[in-house]
Homo-oligomer: A and B are copies of this chain.
Amino acid sequence: MMKDKKQSDEECLQDMRHIQDTLYVISGKWKLPIIMSINNGNNRFREIARSIPKITLRMLSKELKELEMNKLIVRTVSDGSSILITYELTAYSKTLAPLIEEMKNWGKNHKAVITERAAV
């Protein structure tokens, strides 16, 4: 009854949902730039904003919230003489590394594939 050769439709659909979820978490124009910026040592709102050319405060605010909901960053409020808010990458965010590496390599190769002149 061909059980292992082909997966069931339901399994296949579920796989697709997982893939689309992953895509959703990292796509959009600013998510990766924000992650990279924080990774490069920018931890405060205005600092991150300044480090990313053309981003608007509204988008930064919106994306930071989404990244926080997805547990990729943490927002910390520390109350000294004046209030201080910092954003940091979570340990969990590091689990994205292999995926990002794979995407980087695929994209690099893809550019070559697309650019290459067809041999006669």
Q: Which residues of A contact B (CB under 8 A)?
A: 12, 15-23, 25-27, 32-33, 36, 40, 69-71, 92, 95-96, 98-100, 102-111, 113-114
Besides A22-B104, A23-B26, A99-B102, 5 new A-B residue pairs in contact (Cβ under 8 A), listed by A number = A18-B103, A20-B107, A22-B107, A98-B102, A102-B102
- Taking a contact as CB atoms under 8 Å apart, the answer to whether B18 and A33 are in contact is no
Query: What is the minimal beta-carbon distance from A40 to any residue of chain B, in angstroms?
Result: 8
Contact of A107 among B18, B36, B104 (CB under 8 A): B18
- Taking a contact as CB atoms under 8 Å apart, the answer to whether B113 and A71 are in contact is yes
Contact of A111 among B21, B32, B96, B109 (CB under 8 A): B21
Cα-based distance from A99 to B110 in the complex (angstroms): 13
Residues of B within 8 A of A111 (CB): 18, 21
Query: What is the minimal beta-carbon distance from A52 to any residue of chain B, in angstroms?
Result: 11
Residues of B within 8 A of A15 (CB): 104
